[in-house]
Amino acid sequence: MTATIHRIGRATPPSLDPLMTLVAEDMNSVNAVILDRMQSRIPLIPELAGHLIAGGGKRMRPMLTLACARLIQYMGTRHHKLSAAVEFIHTATLLHDDVVDGSGMRRGRKTANIIWGNSASVLVGDFLFSRSFELMVEDGSLKVLKILSHASAVIAEGEVNQLSAQRRIETDEEQYLDIINAKTAALFAAACRIAAVVAEKDEAQEQALDTYGRHLGIAFQLVDDAIDYASDEATMGKDAGDDFRDGKVTLPVILAYARGNDEDRAFWRAAIAGHKISDDDLAHATALLRRSGAIDDTLARARHYGQRATDALGIFPASKAKDALIEAVEFAIARAY
């Protein structure tokens, strides 16, 4: 497969480097806030939180807040604390997700729930979540608090929705989009939108950044869900085929099931119900996904949302920040190739 949305004339594959360079200095400040505010007199809290936070995540969401602030030429520093708040919400969600999914690996390392147990992961997640609200309160913007408290409720709803859809082969593309909109895209959107709020930009710019973040988030999740079937553990940093074994009905499965013959459908029903979990079953699933074009078309959907993300930036004049945000979209999609 070859990525088809590279801009003509690009010599190298799309990368996150321009985004990372753009926000590097700001990110040092954000990291300082993160390290400072994950502390507690209870040693287990920084120990467990630090394992995940230091564990090589991309800090995608705080990067987006910082880059969007740059895009609209915000000159202050309020976004440092708020970027840390966004990352804390994300980290809390990951800790709880790994408990819910019983995951053993993330970012190429053992998960916190494996090392310290489910109870500690649940409670430290609660701590980080509370701490994120303390950071927002210190900033003092009720508008930011509204955006992020709403995003948090939507994320939790999305996670419960996903749990309800698990092992249900009847899940359709609409419900799937609804789930990833909530569990992933809502925080991407909020991370981008709050940049416009602290910069006191008009509603149109707020909305444009929200749309950029939301569609980037959907594209990101679509690609993640494709990669879960199209990659190996070493590349992915987590257990390959996790979604398959967990009975998660992601878009690749929805498309392959819809397009399959009776035999294929019987296989998917059994697999999603949890009766086909061997490596051979996973190999068979992957073969069905490729043969039906389900992986390719999941990535085509991702390109569609990626294009919408890019187009949402149309109202902003050309700048390094704009280029970096557009290349981040291309990077999100190119990860699959």
Instruction: Tell me: does residue 156 bind a second copy (CB under 8 A).
Output: yes
* Tokens 């444009």 sit on residue: 208
Q: In this chain, which of 3, 5, 105, 145 binds a second copy, going by CB under 8 A?
A: 145
Q: How many residues bind a second copy (CB under 8 A)?
A: 42
Give the single-character DSSP code of 165.
H
Contact 218, 175 (CB under 8 A): no
Q: In this chain, which of 159, 264, 296, 311 binds a second copy, going by CB under 8 A?
A: 159
User: What is d(CA 311, CA 330) in angstroms, rounded to the nearest whole number?
Assistant: 13
Cβ-Cβ contacts under 8 Å for 165 (sequence gap 6 or more): 171, 175, 176, 179, 248, 249
In the complex, the smallest distance separating the C-beta of residue 85 from a second copy, rounded to whole angstroms, is 11
In the complex, the smallest distance separating the C-beta of residue 195 from a second copy, rounded to whole angstroms, is 19
User: What is d(CA 308, CA 181) in angstroms, rounded to the nearest whole number?
Assistant: 14
Q: Give the H/E segment covering residue 106.
A: strand 105-106
**Distance from CA of residue 223 to its chain's centroid?**
10
Instruction: Tell me: does residue 275 bind a second copy (CB under 8 A).
Output: no
Stretch that binds a second copy, among 25-33, 39-47, 66-74, 249-257 (CB under 8 A): 39-47
Q: In this chain, which of 24, 54, 115, 153 binds a second copy, going by CB under 8 A?
A: 153
Instruction: Tell me: does residue 169 bind a second copy (CB under 8 A).
Output: no
Instruction: Tell me: does residue 283 bind a second copy (CB under 8 A).
Output: no
Residues in contact with a second copy, shown as a per-residue x/- string from 285 to 304 under the rule CB under 8 A: --------------------
Q: In this chain, which of 17, 134, 172, 200 binds a second copy, going by CB under 8 A?
A: 134
Q: What is the DSSP string of 242-295?
A: HHHHHT---HHHHHHHHH--HHHHHHHHHHHHTS--SHHHHHHHHHHHHHTTHH
**SS3 of 179, please?**
helix
Instruction: Tell me: does residue 114 bind a second copy (CB under 8 A).
Output: no
Q: What residue ranges bind a second copy (CB under 8 A)? A: 40-45, 92-93, 96, 99-100, 118-120, 122-124, 126-127, 129-131, 133-134, 136-137, 140, 142, 145-146, 149-150, 152-153, 155-157, 159-161, 163-164
